[in-house]
Amino acid sequence: MKTKEAYRCAECGAQSPRWQGQCTACKQWNTLEPVTVTKKASTPVGAAASQDKPRPLEELATEELHARTSGIPSLDELLGSGLVPGAAILLGGEPGIGKSTLLLQLAGSQAKLGHTGVYLSGEESLPQLKGRAERLELLGPGLLAISTNKVEDALAILDGPNPPELLIVDSVQTLASPLAEGIPGSISQVRAVSAELVEKTKKTGTTLILVGHVTKDGQIAGPKLLEHMVDTVLYLEGDRKHFSRILRVLKNRFGPSDELVVFTMKEKGLEVVEDPATFFLGSRDPSLSGTAMAMAVDGQRPFAVEVQALVSKSFLSIPRRTALGFDTNRLNLLLAVLEKRLRLNLSGHDIYAKITGGLATKDPGLDLAVIAAILSSFYDQPLPESSVYWGEIDLNGQVRPVAAHDVRLKQAKRLGHNPVCHSGTSPTLADLQRVLFGKSQ
């Protein structure tokens, strides 16, 4: 047995991992007293023989996953089949991106379907949650909420006679467990809280959704073990200055991974964009120079996006290179290929490139569209009105094939666009320059 020191309130009996002047439960001052907490030590290796033995997999009965709908059809497709009983889902995203709004809408949809959902918040009070639910028109008898920072309260909900079918914990970094040392949000606390909740929901059949904070690099905060403990990892991203949001699935044990759903932020919450093929295109004017339409693929969905470029004379000793929506290093690489293979002198020009609509992607198929937009701005000549581009540019100036070529081509034809230059025709940058602008090296 292992022992450690904790603090217990003399008035209400609440425990705290560290001493503080005021009890967080009863709000009384100077009532915390040190106590010794005993926790069970792990069993040494070889101390007791396990009764489990290896069994042939072919003799085991196949268990069917009876998933229920979430109330949002696009979310069901993203998850594979819906909300699986006993599944643990981790949702990450930057502050203010809409995680709490999306989960509150999910809890409200479950309540309308007759399922019980509990929203546990460690960051907001119950009046704040009610105000948000009222604004989103989600109030109903099946929508329950609790505001607490103790994991014991969440476990008590699951230990009740009628455990809820959905438990949302917002967020896992705000809960504290008496079985671990450190403050809420520390590695030991996040590991202990997550392990207790995941283990309990597996036994009760409750679908668990954990909200995770992110670091400045955009990674989910806490130990990487947290992502291995859960069944599904979702990430909500987008630019808070735009109304679009993208929900990606990074890991999924019950369905496909690398899928996404596009939302738009409205007054009454997040709404699914049913046909996102042209959502990021906006009101495009093809008669202007420096614009090119690209057929990008993110996940398994093709998107028609506009790539804009501006090439202007620079008066700086070091010209500016700025990229929005894709990697700046990739822009520098493409400019180096242009200077080398097309013998263009870009050293005296500032070059800016961006993807409109607030979309950020790492699709290598955007290389060709970026090149076409830069050349269009450099020569100040607009590209053909119905042209569309995709393909990866290598260091030799060749256009290499990219993934989902047939999907891009089918979507381009459906939208009425003609792929003047794409990876399926094996062109070079010299061919692109000659066909579009009548220029030769």
> Binding site membership for ATP: which residues?
93-100
SS3 content of the chain, % helix, strand, coil (to 5): 30, 30, 40
DSSP lists the bridge partners of residue 211 as: 91
CA distance 92 to 100: 11
Look at the block and give the residue holding tokens 């596009």: 262
Nearest to 392 by CA among 342, 356, 429: 429
Determine the Cα angle at 308 with ends 303 and 311, to 5°. 155
Exposure string of 297-327, with b = 16+ CB inside 10 Å and e = fewer, is bbbebbbbbbbbbbbeeeeeeebebebebbe
3-state secondary structure at position 98: coil
Q: How far apart are CA 29 and CA 23, in angstroms?
A: 6
> How deeply is 94 buried, as exposed, middle or buried, from its count of CB atoms within 10 A (0-12, 13-18, 19+)?
middle
**Burial class for 89, CB neighbours closer than 10 Å (0-12, 13-18, 19+):** buried
The two tokens of residue 22 are 């005021």
Query: With 0-12 CB in 10 A as exposed, 13-18 as middle and 19+ as buried, what is 416?
Result: exposed
Distances (CA, A) of 96 to 128, 147, 213: 15, 19, 11
- Return the number of other C-beta atoms located less than 10 Å from residue 199's C-beta: 12
Q: Give the pair of three-digit tokens for residue 77.
A: 């497709």
- Note whether 364 and 326 are within 8 A (CB): no
Q: Where are the beta strands (DSSP E) in 137-278?
A: 143-147, 166-170, 207-212, 232-237, 244-252, 259-266, 269-272
Annotated binding residues, as ranges? 93-100
Cis bond leading into 376, ω under 30°?
no
- At a CB cut-off of 8 Å and minimum separation 6, what does 204 contact? 86, 158, 163
Spatial separation of the C-alpha atoms in residues 96 and 85, rounded to whole Å: 29
